[in-house]
Amino acid sequence: DAGITQSPRHKVTETGTPVTLRCHQTENHRYMYWYRQDPGHGLRLIHYSYGVKDTDKGEVSDGYSVSRSKTEDFLLTLESATSSQTSVYFCAISDWGQKGNTIYFGEGSWLTVV
Amino acid sequence: ILNVEQSPQSLHVQEGDSTNFTCSFPSSNFYALHWYRWETAKSPEALFVMTLNGDEKKKGRISATLNTKEGYSYLYIKGSQPEDSATYLCAPDSGTYKYIFGTGTRLKVLA
């Protein structure tokens, strides 16, 4: 258990509204990630962070912004939600241990945009 | 962005069959390769992290090999069981901590 909590776990929102998903970690990991699950595409990287206030774009960053003002929290914001952003969103952290660097995922946030 | 390809995209096998699938990745700037198992409605779960050319890792009936010179890794499942049904993902690591996953191989094991 890498101590990752995502909130909300389920949300239904209307097209055009802003939505923020939160990822909280308890173990001081430097690297944090947001992925989305898409049929036929597997997991696609939206944004990632390599430290407080240090973030970079992933494969599918358009329409999303992120912020990391403290180590434990990584926020994903959909600036104006669209139906194409209906998906399951996974937060992840990477941790260096005995077996090398391993990525641990949160439980996912199910977002429906109607 | 690393170009990662996994094949086949999906696979149906009978219970008891052995199977394998492939992850192809750029061989330049290689640092490590990650394999994950992802069941529907759950979070992806780490299987292996592989770093050395010729590496072979095993976890129960699942094993993986790595060829960094030609840029591929094989995942093998011996004696497939229905509980092995999942999507298997790979992600190469170039040491940048930016993990791009392949599209995965969806395995369905029929009882």
* Interfacial residues of A (vs B; Cβ cutoff 8 Å): 31, 33, 35, 40-45, 48, 50, 56, 58-59, 90, 92, 94, 99-108
User: For residue B91, what is the DSSP state?
Assistant: E
pLDDT at A45 over 60: yes
Mean of pLDDT over chain A = 93
What is the reported pLDDT for B61?
96
Place of tokens 């926020």: A75
A72 has pLDDT over 90: yes
pLDDT of residue A27: 87
Distance to chain B for A106, nearest Cα, Å? 7
Over residues B26-59, the pLDDT tens digits come to 888 888 999 999 998 899 999 999 999 999 999 9
pLDDT score for B44: 94
Higher pLDDT, A16 or B97: A16
Q: What is the mean pLDDT of residues A57-70?
A: 96
Tokens of A2: 């890498």
User: What is the 3-state secondary structure of B12-68?
Assistant: EEECCCCEEEEEECCCCCCCEEEEEEECCCCCCEEEEEECCCCCEEEECCEEEEEEC
Q: How many CB pairs under 8 A join A and B?
A: 59
Distances (CA, A) of A110 to A7, A37, A52, B2, B33: 10, 10, 26, 27, 28
User: Which of B27, B22, B33, B32 is CA-nearest to residue B88?
Assistant: B22
Q: Which pLDDT score, from 0 to 100, does residue A1 have?
A: 57
